[in-house]
Amino acid sequence: MKKKIAVLPGDGIGPEVIKSALQVLDGVATRFGHEFETAEKVFGGAAIDQKGTPLPDDTLEVCKGSDAVLLGAVGGPKWDKGNVRPEQGLLALRKALNVYANLRPVQVFPGLEHLSPLKSCRVKGADFVFVRELTGGIYFSEPKKRDRKSAVDTLSYTREEISRIVEKAYELAAGRRGKVTSVDKANVLETSKLWREIVEETAKKYPNVQTEHMLVDFAAMRMISDPGSFDVIVTENMFGDILSDEASVLTGSLGMMPSASLSERGPGLYEPIHGSAPDIAGSGKANPIGMILSVAMMLRHSFQLEKEAAAVELAVFETLQAGYRTQDIYDGTGNLVSTKEMVDQIHFRM
């Protein structure tokens, strides 16, 4: 199989983890006989520095013309005070690629439960996935404006926007443990009432999937008190942003968490959920696993290469089992390694 991949290293540790991803991708190509043609483009803060805009036209063109996009990370204090911020590039890219479905798996790795800030018994076996709406809601709706005296943002959703993301969640749940938790604030928000209505309608089409409605404030509690009770969580953009970040801490291994953002037809966008971590950039301390597992998601969701995806995941799993640890997941036992050494170990096991 031959595929074109746009590669956006971005800022901070972005370039390092992207390098790791490409090494692993190379391993996949060799072992399974595929050809991955990559095109690296400037994005985020780096693009602001070079071209004055976080998402240059040619970067976007290359992304649109690819079969998938790999993204490292964007942002950093350097650009925080500027008029144009790296994150604007990320939001613009999501919108332009129409990647409305953001999948964020939350998984506690067997043997790494002790890394969690929660008691091990609470997180053991937690394994769920967020399906976050990513191209609508309060992130993008108009009016959105501000003067010295007041400001306004708008949270709007159409039936179509809600339907397609809810469908996605049910499809996923049908192939997993068969439970959808829909998170909203239906006791306050009109958009949530419409959301709940559509979930009810969709649920009828999936008689084997169990549906649960949960208010966002209650969900924020349950995430900590009973993370094992979730399977697929579907929610709108802002709630998904908050809750998925909250959940990512539970595993104690933020650096190992991947994400996929899917559109209806075009290329998907794959990135680790960790940020650009400017404090450790260039020091060889970054955990490459979040990025590498994002590559696995790309193989699965954009290229339908299930076997290859599983091979990458297995190599990561075995490397962890063998005791290799980057500093973020090192607890004094096992083998403390650099980004490069970790990738070599994973590559070696493929």
Ligand X SMILES: CC(C)[C@H](C(=O)O)[C@@H](O)C(=O)O
Catalytic: 245?
yes
Identity of residue 178: G
Rounded to the nearest whole angstrom, what is the least distance from the CB of residue 4 to a copy of itself in the complex? Answer: 31
Closest CA to 348 of 30, 70, 18: 30
The answer to whether the bond into 143 is cis (omega within 30° of 0) is yes
Q: How far apart, in whole angstroms, are the C-alpha atoms of residue 46 and residue 116?
A: 33
Rounded to the nearest whole angstrom, what is the least distance from the CB of residue 9 to a copy of itself in the complex? Answer: 20
Closer to a copy of itself by Cβ: residue 195 or 324: 195
Catalytic: 241?
yes
DSSP characters over 164-200 = HHHHHHHHHHHTTTSEEEEEE-TTT-HHHHHHHHHHH
Closest CA to 97 of 268, 273, 241, 299: 268
Q: Within 90-129, which residues bind ligand X (CB under 6 A)?
A: 90-91
Q: How far apart, in whole angstroms, are the C-alpha atoms of residue 106 and residue 303?
A: 22
Instruction: Say which residue the tokens 């960790």 belong to.
Output: 274
- Could you say which of 1, 221, 310, 322 contacts a copy of itself (CB under 8 A)? 221
Cβ–Cβ < 8 Å for 267, 298: no
224 sits near a copy of itself (criterion: CB under 8 A): yes
- Could you say which of 174, 203, 242, 336 contacts a copy of itself (CB under 8 A)? 242
> DSSP class of residue 187?
T
Q: Are strands 127-133 and 101-107 parallel, antiparallel or unpaired?
A: antiparallel
Rounded to the nearest whole angstrom, what is the least distance from the CB of residue 117 to a copy of itself in the complex? Answer: 5
119 sits near a copy of itself (criterion: CB under 8 A): yes
Cβ–Cβ < 8 Å for 192, 185: yes
141 sits near a copy of itself (criterion: CB under 8 A): yes
- Could you say which of 83, 187, 208, 333 contacts ligand X (CB under 6 A)? 187
Task: Convert residues 213-242 into a mask of x (bound to ligand X by CB under 6 A) and - (unbound).
Answer: ----x-----------------------x-
Q: What's the number of CA atoms in the CB half-sphere (13 Å) around residue 340?
A: 3
Q: How far apart, in whole angstroms, are the C-alpha atoms of residue 313 and residue 201?
A: 35
Q: Which does 159 bind (CB under 5 to 8 A by kind): ligand X, a copy of itself, none?
A: a copy of itself
> DSSP class of residue 296?
H
Instruction: Kindly state the number of chain residues that form the binding site for ligand X, as judged by CB under 6 A.
Output: 7
41 is in an annotated binding site: no
Catalytic: 185?
yes
Binding residues (CB under 6 A) for ligand X: these are 87, 90-91, 187-188, 217, 241
| Residues annotated in a binding site for Mg(2+) | 217, 241, 245
Q: Which positions are annotated as active-site residues?
A: 139, 185, 217, 241, 245
- Interface ranges with a copy of itself (CB under 8 A): 85, 87, 91, 117-119, 122, 138-139, 141, 144-146, 148-159, 185, 187-191, 193-195, 216-218, 220-221, 223-225, 238-239, 241-243, 245-246, 248-250, 254
